[in-house]
C-alpha cells in the first residue's frame, strides 16, 4: 500500500495536484489508496519542502513546487523505489 501525501496550504496549484493524484490513482487502477492532505506549514517543513505543492510517496518527496500531469503521476505512483 502506498503512503501518499499532498503538501500544500490550499492554494489553487495544491488543489490541482490533489485532483491530478486522484485521477492518476484511478487511471493506474490503484484502489484503496488514501491521499493525506498536509496543510500545516510546520508539518510541511519537516519534509524539507520550501515550495508547494509537493507530493510525498512512501516518505520520499517526489515532486516539489509544480503540478505534474496525470501521466507523469501514474509513473511516479506505480514505480517501486
Cite the active site residues.
Answer: 11, 14
Residue 73 cell numbers, joined: 503521476
Q: How far is CA 39 from the centre of its chain?
A: 12
Residue 68 cell numbers, joined: 505534474
Query: Is 57 within 8 Å of 30 (Cβ atoms)?
Result: no
Amino acid at each position: 500500500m502506498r503512503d501518499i501525501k499532498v503538501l500544500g496550504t490550499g492554494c489553487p496549484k495544491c488543489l490541482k495536484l490533489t485532483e491530478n493524484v486522484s485521477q492518476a490513482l484511478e487511471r493506474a487502477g490503484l484502489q484503496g489508496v488514501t491521499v493525506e492532505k498536509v496543510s500545516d506549514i510546520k508539518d510541511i517543513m519537516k519534509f524539507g519542502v520550501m515550495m508547494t505543492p509537493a507530493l510525498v510517496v512512501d516518505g520520499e518527496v517526489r515532486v516539489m513546487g509544480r503540478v505534474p500531469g496525470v501521466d507523469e503521476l501514474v509513473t511516479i505512483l506505480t514505480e517501486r523505489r
